Structure 1
Amino acid sequence: MIKKLITGNYYFFLLIPLLFASSCNKKIDNPYSIVFWEMEDAYVAPYINTVIYYFKNQYYKNHSKELIFTRAHYQTEDLRQQFQAASLAGVPPDILISPSDTAGIYAISGFIMPLNDVFDFSLYNKPVVDAITLEGKIWGVPISNGNHLMLMYNKKYVKSPPKTTDELFNYCEKESKKFNMNYCLAFDGGEPFWIMPWLGAFGGWPLDDRKPTLNTPQMRDALNFYHDLKFKYKYIPPECDYNCMDSLFKEEKVPFIINGDWAISSYINHFKENFDISVIPKLSKTGLYPSPMISGKYFLLSSKLSGEKFEIIKEFVRFYTNRENQIRQFKELKRLPSLKEATESKEIKSDHIARISMEQILKGKPMPMAYEMRAIWDTLRNYQGLVMTDKMKVDKAIEKIQKEVERKIEEMDR
């Protein structure tokens, strides 16, 4: 299984320095030296550093031992590749922050440990725990609840958010042009995570009990909807990735953006009182709300952890997700807490951003942790890109997507 999941020359080159480090380092592992990898945005780093700082102080006060945290940052895809390579080489980090979908691969590969008997998961909100559960085992501790897409807008140009796509498109046809804007809405048209809400709004979903469901009328409608936004209506910019959409919104070249809860804090800092969020508008054609994938960010623990270091890591995770830090995380990063006690606090329940974000969560669906999602992400990204550059017709694309995903899953299962 691992051999099939992790293949290619790329990993060979990744493994060379890791294997060298493993063979050269014969010293006994220092339990007070923690290797911590994450894939957070740059603006989250000060928060992480602050929590680590306070934990180190508390640990020294309680145990008279000084801890050393070595933190490394990677982009999401790079983190996946590096963690798999490091785990194969026998030199994984002790702990990492990850979304739930990649955890499925780590779990079946034996790289991370199940945590059912390690932490009390009744303390956390059930939906965010369910999103990291596979075959009855819980593979991560939730740090935040959501990690979901929403509609965000500039109040300088939008007085009230659209409730339906008809209202949104009416604004795009009339109002945005008054401000001499070439485009009305920005999102990452090449990244399949962004099409999932619309697939749900057309009544579809990528998996049905771990079976891919992509060659369907619903996927056809979702891709045609995307294609029309770009080529027929010209509401969205061409060839626009994440950095592009983020820049267009911040530079006030579009009034709307569909982005995730991870971006809220930076937009508030940028736009001040002119920034607001809303649920993604109901799809007028079907009467269904878009259903963004819901999960969170999670602590995953290396399966190699044991002894005193394992105890330290457990203490750190409990500290990081305690009530005080969960509330501070929301105040600083605008991420909904995963801890029940923090969710019920007045600081969260009285906040406008938290209320709208939770409303969007309730319209979403849990992101499948099943490793089959890896095949779906990789395949859909390729063919979605071909459709959105007018290099392949939608009907042909969804047929190829289904066959390619099924082939990749068969390879994984060998």
Structure 2
Amino acid sequence: MVISKKIKILAAIIVIAIVASAGVYFLFFTKPRADVIIWAAVLPSEEELTLEFIEKFHEQYPNITVELVNVADLRTRLLAAIPAGKGPDLFMWAHDWTGEFAEAGYIVPLDEYVTQDLKDEFIDVAMDACTYNNSVYALPIAAETVALIYNKDIVAEPPQNVSQLENMMKNYVIQHPGNFGIACQLDPYFVSAWPHGYGGYYFRDEDKSVGVNNTETVEGIEFFMEHFKPYMSTDTSREAQVAIFVEGKAPFLIDGPWGLGTLRDKNMSFGVTLLPKIDEIDAWPKPYTGIKVIWMSSNVYDKKKAFTFLKWLTTNTEYIKRRALELGFIPVLKDVLQDADVKADEVVSTYAEQVELGIAMPKSKEMMKVWGPVGDALNDIFLGVKTADEALDEAQQKILEALGKT
């Protein structure tokens, strides 16, 4: 009995020693937190390039460590993390979250760091996208919108107007049964060009008005459904639509520069042209344009270090130029826009021209109540569940109720 008791005591001492040593190891040998953590939802090609430049930054600033975290469901993760006092120091997305996040206190103004000289390094529309209620909340890194991408192995000359495009799509599906005339993700952003082309709109920052069921908006969406839907797959998810184009099952794809890395990885021969003119009303389609920006979280660990990296990354001409030439992102840094190589690049220059024809996404917090109902309406119309008038009237009502305007 005595020996058994001694064995138990010895075993207990060993367990305590193991636990204690594990605690000491955890305390002294776990990986320390990076000085700057940045969250982004990016494709592998953009992630790889950014990681390369994070290494270059660390060579110049050895006392500042930076970690890039690629987050698939960025918005959901941010809305869970930031109110709980967690999350990243910096995060990147299109500018339309600015109003909502600023008013919620999820991002901090950068006015103490952003000088007029720094603002002047970027084009005006880009800095405007970073500004809310007269405070600068972000720095811009690129512009983006959608344009018409075509497979050069199938299309010799791109269409100049929708009538030409429709004839090409029609002939292709006749000659290739089971294939499609065009690939296009079905959501409010991708479809916006057509209601805007007709003079419609979803929401306006200027007067906070909702125009989802305006006559012009309905006409534009009906135009899209009449001239594009017949040549599309019924699976309108991004993954399915891009796959159709990559697999050579459609000659055209409506997409932004963020997807060009995938096409290049597949060694596709492709060209980019403007969305074709709506010849029946002699008007250009006007897609939503976004400015990709980087905000600073209200939970920032070290504001000075975070801004040092933020400024370095967004004004690094080599990084911005390679984003343009290798990934197709439209520069907003003036020096890069004037670079001879960038100006000569057909893809970048076409997307830049498309941005000029587009309309900036609203950045008011109210816009967050608009996307969902419009997306639901587009799906109902596409599937034939409701007419455009029915679906868009319902969406308008849902938005007004959500905004407390009924």
Question: Structure 1 length normalisation: TM-score?
Answer: 0.84
Q: What percentage of aligned pairs have identical amino acids?
A: 22
SS in 2 for 1:153: strand
How many aligned positions are there? 369
How far 1:224 moved relative to its partner? 1.7
Match of 2:295 in 1: 300
Residue ranges of structure 2 left out of the alignment (5+ in a row):
1-26
SS in 2 for 1:211: coil
After TM superposition, list the pairs within 5 Å mapping 1:136-151 onto structure 2: 136-145=134-143, 147-151=144-148
CA contact (8 A) 2:200 2:216 kept: yes
Match of 2:149 in 1: 152
Out of 129-138 and 200-209, give the one that drifted further. 129-138
How far 1:59 moved relative to its partner? 0.6
How far 1:264 moved relative to its partner? 1.9
Match of 2:185 in 1: 188
2:272 is the counterpart of 1:270: no
CA contact (8 A) 2:196 2:217 kept: no
- Provide Cα deviations, 1:66-113, integer angstroms capped at 9, x if missing partner: x443332223xx211211221111113111111111232111101101
SS in 2 for 1:410: coil
- Provide Cα deviations, 1:181-216, integer angstroms capped at 9, x if missing partner: 631011012x11111111111111222322111111
Match of 2:226 in 1: 228
After TM superposition, list the pairs within 5 Å mapping 1:310-325 onto structure 2: 310-321=303-314, 322-325=316-319
CA contact (8 A) 1:128 1:295 kept: no
How far 1:179 moved relative to its partner? 4.3
CA distance in 2, matches of 1:195, 1:149: 10
Report the structure number with the largest CA radius of gyration.
2
2:84 is the counterpart of 1:84: no
Match of 1:244 in 2: 240
- Provide Cα deviations, 1:334-362, integer angstroms capped at 9, x if missing partner: 21212111111112112111221111111
Tell me the C-alpha RMSD between the 2 structures.
2.0
How far 1:114 moved relative to its partner? 1.9
Q: Letter of the aligned partner of 1:217 in structure 2?
A: T
After TM superposition, list the pairs within 5 Å mapping 1:2-401 onto structure 2: 33-60=35-62, 65=63, 67-75=64-72, 78-119=73-114, 120-145=118-143, 147-180=144-177, 182-189=179-186, 191-208=187-204, 209=206, 210-229=208-227, 234-272=230-268, 274-305=269-300, 309-321=302-314, 322-401=316-395
How far 1:43 moved relative to its partner? 2.3
CA distance in 2, matches of 1:58, 1:290: 45
CA contact (8 A) 1:229 1:236 kept: no
SS in 1 for 2:307: helix
Residue ranges of structure 1 left out of the alignment (5+ in a row):
1-24
How far 1:140 moved relative to its partner? 1.4
SS in 2 for 1:114: coil
CA distance in 2, matches of 1:133, 1:410: 26
Out of 150-159 and 178-187, give the one that drifted further. 178-187
Out of 244-253 and 326-335, give the one that drifted further. 326-335
Match of 2:18 in 1: none
How far 1:135 moved relative to its partner? 2.5
SS in 2 for 1:300: strand
How far 1:31 moved relative to its partner? 8.3
How far 1:32 moved relative to its partner? 5.2
SS in 1 for 2:235: coil
Out of 92-101 and 217-226, give the one that drifted further. 217-226
